Chain A
């Protein structure tokens, strides 16, 4: 029995190697498969009849009009970007602040507790966040800001910020933890206060990791669907302020794909929106990668 096991050992090794290889390569495969699928669904209309000028410059989104169908996505694009940027405006200071606190200032016992709670925050399903936006945040915003309507860009951005803070915190904290202790010791030995150490030494040293944390947060915000669908008011318009309702690209797909007849123009335009979203996240990731490499070389 032992000898047979010894014979089987190389085979086992080979199998495990193949399996791990497959796991690694499958990620590439899936990304390409999804891209091919999304592109194929939208391709026919994209090359044939798609009006890019209207799509990017008109706010008139009338996919189900009976007389004059128009696919102007400008308001949706503005919606996605405005909500995402506003949410990052809230989430980045909070997230990075929390990461610095947890990694540098926090007593060890509190630290464990905080990390568990923050992980819990990340585990809350997005539809629950949306529900919170629809009910609690809705009336809060009306009361605090005297807004005519509680479902608006600010509501969506706060919800998105709450959703992306856990990501920023956990990745940011990892980045800070990766800075060698000798940096901290050196800074303190030179007479820095702890704040000077954080701002002058740690943050520059962990720059790449922190940037990655922020970009992953943006990725979450751009791609989030259900929560923004419920919290932003789902209204097609160019917002003139943070208290105006907006509608995002993702929410549009979620709300309309179910009812768009398969392979109809409307269906294909929704997939073109999918391609656009894909491109946006792709550009964000590539930019992040280039920035990180650029900083690394210096």
Chain B
């Protein structure tokens, strides 16, 4: 009745092979020869460059494992960990009790915290800005609700943009861990941000905007520094020493706006995930922390300053 299409059987075979391939690839526990174990790693945008660097380096050392990294924010990473789409959540803040509770309720397992490095938030200004140091109080007056400083002359600084004295305050969108951390570290537990800040979507965007805008001030991870912006030294209060955002100052705890970086797993990590986290903890992994512009765990001692910090006086 119908002529059999010679390609039909071939394409059917191909389709079957394809389906079989998909099915095999999706089996999670299989780690046989030639099988790639995929570790899903998602979360903090601050950590996404670092996580990507780790993932790329680790594949070279251990080709049987591939680590897929995605950003989206610390909260997004934790949400993915809880709903099972991520094996490791990157988090630039501690998990909140509510998040721990949700993880327990939804998965029956406790999230486990792994300290992997530190992030010092740098305060960036345009190169035209004469300012080199700032105190936490001054920052709070710039960023905080009802803050007194809206003009550069309020800080006793010559306006970097000859025609305008207004401080262009660059902040982050409220879904970022960096935003929350800055609020906590600079504005304290109760104070809110001022309205009318320019809220950027990503860490890099903040630095980029400050580089383009003479009258701007912004905060972002130290790793995002470029030579088109200047990082300010920060003093806890007027009259105290201002500390530059350097590795040593962060490890010593003297730089005031620094925080730990975490990776979370559900339950104690096992197998490939444990091996990966152990590798991150090793000197090689920690070296990558430094090279990405962050601060390595202090017990490793003398970490060389990252490239990005060498421009600092």
A-side residues, CB < 8 A to B, are 59-68, 75, 134, 138-139, 142, 146, 148-151, 229-230, 233-237, 245, 247, 255-256, 258-259, 261
Contacts and interface: CB of A to CB of B under 8 A. Distances in A.
A59 B195 CA distance: 9
Interface in B66-103: 72-73, 75-76, 98
A60 B215 CA distance: 25
A220 B195 CA distance: 28
Given A60-B195, A68-B192, A256-B173, 15 more contacts: A61-B195, A67-B192, A75-B195, A139-B212, A149-B209, A149-B213, A234-B173, A235-B196, A235-B198, A235-B199, A236-B197, A256-B174, A258-B75, A259-B73, A259-B174
Contacts of A237: 195-196
Nearest to B177: A259
Contacts of A148: 161, 164, 166, 168, 213, 215
Chain A, interface SS category? loop
Contacts of A61: 195
B4 interface: no
Nearest to A238: B196
Contact of B173 (A65, A142, A255): A255
B216 interface: yes
28 contacts: A61-B195, A62-B192, A64-B180, A66-B190, A146-B163, A148-B166, A148-B168, A148-B215, A149-B198, A149-B209, A149-B216, A150-B213, A233-B199, A234-B173, A234-B198, A235-B196, A235-B199, A236-B195, A237-B195, A237-B196, A255-B199, A255-B201, A256-B174, A258-B75, A258-B76, A258-B175, A259-B73, A259-B174
Contact of A151 (B175, B196, B209): B209
Interface residues of B, number: 30
B192 A65 contact: yes
Interface string B159-188: 001011010100001110000100000000
Interface of B: 72-73, 75-76, 98, 161, 163-164, 166, 168, 173-175, 180, 189-190, 192, 195-201, 205, 209, 212-213, 215-216
Contacts of A256: 173-175
A255 B166 CA distance: 26
Contacts of A62: 192
A259 B98 CA distance: 13
A230 B200 CA distance: 8
A151 B198 contact: yes
